[in-house]
């Protein structure tokens, strides 16, 4: 029999072995990221390479980048957190909501990818569709501003997720672990289109394997799914130690602790808001043709199912393994906590690196989205006559991205919302301001400039007011109000010119439309394009 | 739990059905630039 001293030594040894594996696997992943991105520096990526990447993406590259874009800390940490605290209702609110959005995104792809030369950014699409004859497009600037705010919030959430995982792996205090993100940002923000594609592909494989291994660890520790189900049916353990006990059976209720109205709001924001989110609209312009874009989303849904079955097992199984979290923690900690405590160190290390991969790849691409919106759609759009040099512009964009990254780290020190809910708020806001702008803009010739302004401004104001007054479903309120404003604007506003809608309704466009497209895209006679525009296409964002 | 899982399964089915329908529309259009190849899922 071991005495107390020997027991302590054993525990210490086990702890050291765990930390060794976590750090070993994490260092390997870091090494891979650095090598991959430094190699991309040596590759000569011309402007045309970037464009080719943008509009000629093949099916399988598209599937991997879509999955990597889709999966973020909100999915791999936020959703298990809500499964832990609210049970199966989180499947309806987030998982079914996001999957339904993925099902509907091909409706956008079916139209937005039709033009021979599609727009390169979402604000450019807005510019071409609603203000094709204006050199400076105020609507494009407004959309660029809203996008940069939305994507900064997305980045903030990724940094929070990264901080939680990095502090769990290293044992460093959360507030300090956050700054590790800047190290990754420094390397991952220098890659071009192909390096991003390869990184995304590898990240997708790591995420799929990581969550499957994590789920097996949870199934082994709980004794199987039947035990997990029985625990959900009977447990009354509070989510946090010392908190209020949960009503028996709450975790198996379809509405959980949310209530029907709130769950509907979450579902609709995630389902309808995500369809028109700028990063998904942009993503649908990248594949080589319309059908590839549609098939890309269909195949992605199947791979995403492989990721979410394990996440559901982990989130629900965690309630059996850790009935209550320590007071002061958030439910976002449940995934790394359950993995570190119940999985074998190698499995745990792999799963935690998968979480980091989700956070880093998303944060990096979202930062570029925020940066390009500010630089390209605000600055360059408002000052089109300034002399812009591409190399200088690239450098300025990098500095902007690094500054935004630093601000995101600072903002993550005191996170105000949970990861998955943060995404729902931003998706709700995007849906409120872009729903009719995108869908009616693609499917109705009568959708005009005034109606686009009405959707963006009225939708945003209604969404904010609905939140302030505490409406149960702010997204639905803003959608109805902005729809009325859009209808009135269509009736009283001027018709859209042919050049605005023709690319989305006709197979071949008229010479005047072609001319307008070339002017706005700033294309030279040789068809060469600007690298900054492509950054936002090639570095995509996750759901 | 059944309702939750069915709602998720429903979303997956919508994705497959809607995607198939849109691919069919592209094939019907016959526009090669949009991806019409003569085969529904190619």
Classify residue A125 by burial, with Cβ atoms within 10 Å: 0-12, 13-18, 19+. Answer: buried
Structural domain contains residue A259? yes
Taking Cα atoms as reference points, which of A456, A499, A376 lies closest to residue A120? A376
Q: How many residues does chain B have?
A: 42
Predicted local confidence at residue A98, as pLDDT: 92
The string of pLDDT tens digits covering residues A505-537 is 999 888 988 888 888 776 543 444 443 333 333
CB-closest option in B14, B26, B29 to A100: B14
Structural domain contains residue A357? yes
In the numeric block, which tokens belong to residue A137?
């497009």
At residue A57, φ and ψ (nearest 5 deg) are -70, 130
User: Residues 295..334 of A with a Cβ closer than 8 Å to B: which?
Assistant: 295, 297-298, 301, 305, 308
Predicted local confidence at residue A230, as pLDDT: 94
Does residue B6 sit at the A interface (CB-CB below 8 Å)? Answer: no
d(CA A340, CA B19): 40
HEC string for A162-210: HHHHHHHHHCCCHHHHCCHHHHHHHHHCCCCHHHHHHHHHHHHHHHHHH
Does residue A92 sit at the B interface (CB-CB below 8 Å)? Answer: yes
d(CA A309, CA A357): 19
CB-closest option in A97, A301, A308 to B15: A301
User: Residues 471..490 of A with a Cβ closer than 8 Å to B: which?
Assistant: none
Does residue A413 sit at the B interface (CB-CB below 8 Å)? Answer: no
The string of pLDDT tens digits covering residues A72-101 is 888 888 899 999 999 999 999 999 999 999
User: Residues 11..40 of B with a Cβ closer than 8 Å to A: which?
Assistant: 11-12, 14-16, 18-20, 22-23, 25-26, 29, 31, 33-37
Q: How many CB atoms lie within 10 A of CB A328?
A: 8
Cα distance from N-terminal residue to C-terminal residue, chain B: 37
Predicted local confidence at residue A194, as pLDDT: 59
Element (H, E) at A129: helix A122-130
Predicted local confidence at residue A196, as pLDDT: 64
List of residues 6+ apart from A467 with CB closer than 8 A: A474
Print the domain residue range for A352.
4-447+496-538
Classify residue A539 by burial, with Cβ atoms within 10 Å: 0-12, 13-18, 19+. Answer: buried
State the angle between helix axes of A531-538 and A345-372 in degrees (0 to 180), rounded to the nearest 10: 150
Contacts 24+ apart (CB under 8 A), A131-136: A131/A449, A132/A497, A132/A499, A132/A500, A132/A516, A132/A520, A133/A497, A133/A499, A133/A516, A135/A384, A136/A381, A136/A382, A136/A384
What is the number of structural domains in chain A? 1
Q: Apex CA A52: angle with CA A182 and CA A196, to 5°?
A: 25
Greatest mean pLDDT among A24-33, A412-421, A469-478: A469-478
Structural domain contains residue A43? yes
The string of pLDDT tens digits covering residues A262-316 is 898 889 888 888 899 998 898 888 888 999 999 999 999 999 999 999 999 999 9
Structural domain contains residue A159? yes
Structural domain contains residue A328? yes
The nearest CA of chain A is from the CA of B39 a distance in Å of 11
Identify all chain B residues contacting A254, using CB atoms and an 8 Å cutoff.
3-4
Instruction: Give yes or no for residue B12 having a pLDDT over 90.
Output: yes
Helix, strand and coil in chain B, % to nearest 5: 75, 0, 25
d(CA A307, CA A543): 14
CB A129 within 8 A of CB A301: no
Predicted local confidence at residue A256, as pLDDT: 85
Does residue B7 sit at the A interface (CB-CB below 8 Å)? Answer: yes
Closest-CA residue of B relative to A291 is B35
Instruction: Give yes or no for residue A38 having a pLDDT over 50.
Output: yes
d(CA A89, CA A263): 8
CB A218 within 8 A of CB A314: yes
In the numeric block, which tokens belong to residue B31?
């526009």
List of residues 6+ apart from A348 with CB closer than 8 A: A18, A21, A22, A214, A217, A339, A340
**Looking at per-residue confidence, does A434 or A362 come out higher?**
A434
The nearest CA of chain B is from the CA of A49 a distance in Å of 20
The string of pLDDT tens digits covering residues A439-476 is 999 999 999 999 999 999 999 999 999 989 988 888 88
Q: How confident is the model at residue A117 (pLDDT cuts 50, 70, 90)?
A: confident
Structural domain contains residue A234? yes
Closest-CA residue of B relative to A112 is B34
Mutation target to probe the A interface, by most A beta carbons within 10 A, among B21, B33, B38, B40 is B33
Instruction: Give yes or no for residue A428 having a pLDDT over 70.
Output: yes
Contact B19 A88 (CB under 8 A): no
d(CA A283, CA A391): 25
Structural domain contains residue A458? no
Cα distance from N-terminal residue to C-terminal residue, chain A: 53
**Looking at per-residue confidence, does A202 or A532 come out higher?**
A202
B39 torsion bin: left (phi>0), alpha (psi -120 to 50), beta (else): beta
Contact B8 A95 (CB under 8 A): yes
Structural domain contains residue A466? no
The nearest CA of chain B is from the CA of A208 a distance in Å of 18
Contact B11 A96 (CB under 8 A): yes
Distances (CA, A) of A467 to A97, A474, A478, A488, B9: 20, 6, 10, 24, 31
Contact A301 B12 (CB under 8 A): yes
Following DSSP, what letter does each residue of A416-456 receive, concatenated?
A: -S-HHHHHHHHHHHHHHHHHHHHHHHHH-TT--HHHHHHHH
Mutation target to probe the B interface, by most B beta carbons within 10 A, among A67, A298, A313, A317 is A298
Closest-CA residue of B relative to A292 is B35
For residues A483-498, average pLDDT = 95
Identify all chain B residues contacting A75, using CB atoms and an 8 Å cutoff.
none
Predicted local confidence at residue A51, as pLDDT: 32
A-B Cβ pairs (cutoff 8 Å, strict): 88
d(CA A471, CA A403): 36
Task: Report chain A's mean pLDDT, rounded to a whole number.
Answer: 83
Half-sphere CA count of A168, side-chain side, radius 13 A: 25
Q: How many residues does chain A have?
A: 543
At residue A287, φ and ψ (nearest 5 deg) are -60, 165
CATH number of the domain bearing residue A90: 1.20.1730.10
User: Residues 56..75 of A with a Cβ closer than 8 Å to B: which?
Assistant: none
Element (H, E) at A502: helix A498-505
d(CA A129, CA A303): 34
d(CA A183, CA A166): 12
DSSP A496: P
Q: What is the ipTM of this complex?
A: 0.97
Predicted local confidence at residue B16, as pLDDT: 95
Identify all chain A residues contacting B5, using CB atoms and an 8 Å cutoff.
88, 91
In the numeric block, which tokens belong to residue A406?
């630093």
d(CA A386, CA A383): 6
Q: How confident is the model at residue A435 (pLDDT cuts 50, 70, 90)?
A: very high
Instruction: Classify A300 as helix, strand or coil.
Output: helix
Q: How confident is the model at residue A197 (pLDDT cuts 50, 70, 90)?
A: low
For residues A415-433, average pLDDT = 82
Q: How confident is the model at residue A541 (pLDDT cuts 50, 70, 90)?
A: very low
Predicted local confidence at residue A360, as pLDDT: 80
């Amino acid at each position: 029999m071991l005495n107390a001293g020997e027991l302590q030594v054993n525990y210490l040894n086990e702890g050291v072995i765990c930390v060794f594996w976590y750090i070993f696997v994490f260092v390997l992943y870091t090494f891979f990221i650095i090598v991959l991105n430094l190699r991309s520096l040596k590759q000569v990526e011309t402007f045309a390479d970037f464009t080719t990447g943008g509009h000629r993406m093949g099916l399988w590259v598209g599937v991997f980048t879509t999955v990597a874009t889709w999966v973020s800390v909100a999915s791999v940490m936020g959703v298990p957190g809500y499964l832990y605290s609210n049970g199966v209702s989180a499947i309806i609110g987030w998982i079914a909501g996001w999957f339904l959005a993925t099902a509907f995104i091909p409706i956008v792809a079916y139209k937005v990818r039709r033009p021979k030369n599609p727009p390169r950014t979402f604000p450019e699409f807005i510019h071409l569709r609603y203000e094709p004859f204006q050199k400076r497009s105020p609507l494009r600037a407004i959309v660029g501003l809203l996008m940069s705010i939305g994507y900064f919030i997305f980045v903030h959430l990724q940094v929070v997720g990264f901080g939680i995982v990095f502090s769990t792996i290293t044992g460093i205090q959360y507030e300090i672990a956050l700054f590790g993100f800047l190290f990754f940002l420094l390397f991952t923000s220098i890659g071009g289109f192909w390096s991003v594609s390869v990184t995304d592909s590898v990240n997708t494989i790591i995420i799929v394997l990581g969550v499957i291994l994590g789920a097996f660890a949870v199934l082994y520790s709980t004794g199987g799914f039947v035990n997990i189900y029985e625990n959900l049916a009977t447990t009354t353990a509070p989510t946090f130690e010392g908190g209020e006990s949960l009503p028996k059976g709450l975790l198996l209720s379809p509405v959980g602790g949310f209530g029907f109205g709130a769950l509907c709001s979450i579902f609709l924001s995630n389902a309808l808001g995500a369809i028109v989110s700028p990063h998904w609209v942009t993503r649908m312009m990248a594949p080589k043709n319309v059908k590839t874009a549609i098939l890309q989303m269909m195949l992605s849904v199947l791979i995403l199912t492989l990721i979410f079955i394990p996440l559901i097992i982990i989130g629900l199984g965690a309630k059996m393994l850790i009935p209550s979290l320590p007071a002061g923690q958030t439910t976002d900690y449940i995934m790394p906590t359950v993995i570190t405590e119940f999985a074998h160190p190698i499995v745990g290390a792999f799963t935690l690196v998968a979480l980091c991969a989700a956070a880093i790849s998303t944060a990096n691409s979202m930062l570029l989205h925020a940066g390009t919106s500010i630089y390209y759609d605000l600055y360059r759009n408002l000052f089109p006559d300034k002399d812009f040099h591409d190399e200088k512009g690239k450098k300025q964009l990098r500095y902007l991205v690094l500054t935004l990254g630093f601000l995101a780290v600072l903002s993550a020190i005191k996170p105000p919302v949970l990861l998955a809910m943060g995404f729902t708020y931003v998706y709700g806001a995007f849906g409120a301001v872009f729903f009719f702008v995108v869908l009616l803009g693609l499917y109705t010739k009568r959708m005009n400039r005034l109606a686009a302004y009405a959707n963006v401004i009225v939708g945003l104001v209604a969404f904010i007011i609905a939140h302030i007054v505490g409406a149960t479903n702010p997204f639905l309120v803003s959608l109805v109000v902005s729809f009325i404003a859009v209808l009135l604007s269509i009736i009283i506003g001027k018709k859209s010119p042919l050049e605005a809608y023709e690319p989305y309704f006709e197979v071949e466009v008229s010479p005047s439309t072609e001319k307008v497209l070339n002017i706005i895209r700033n294309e030279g006679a040789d068809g060469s394009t600007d690298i900054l525009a492509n950054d936002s296409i090639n570095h995509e964002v996750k759901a | 739990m059944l309702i939750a899982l069915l709602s998720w399964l429903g979303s997956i089915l919508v994705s497959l059905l809607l995607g198939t329908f849109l691919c069919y529309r592209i094939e019907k259009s016959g526009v090669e630039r949009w991806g019409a190849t003569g085969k529904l899922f190619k």
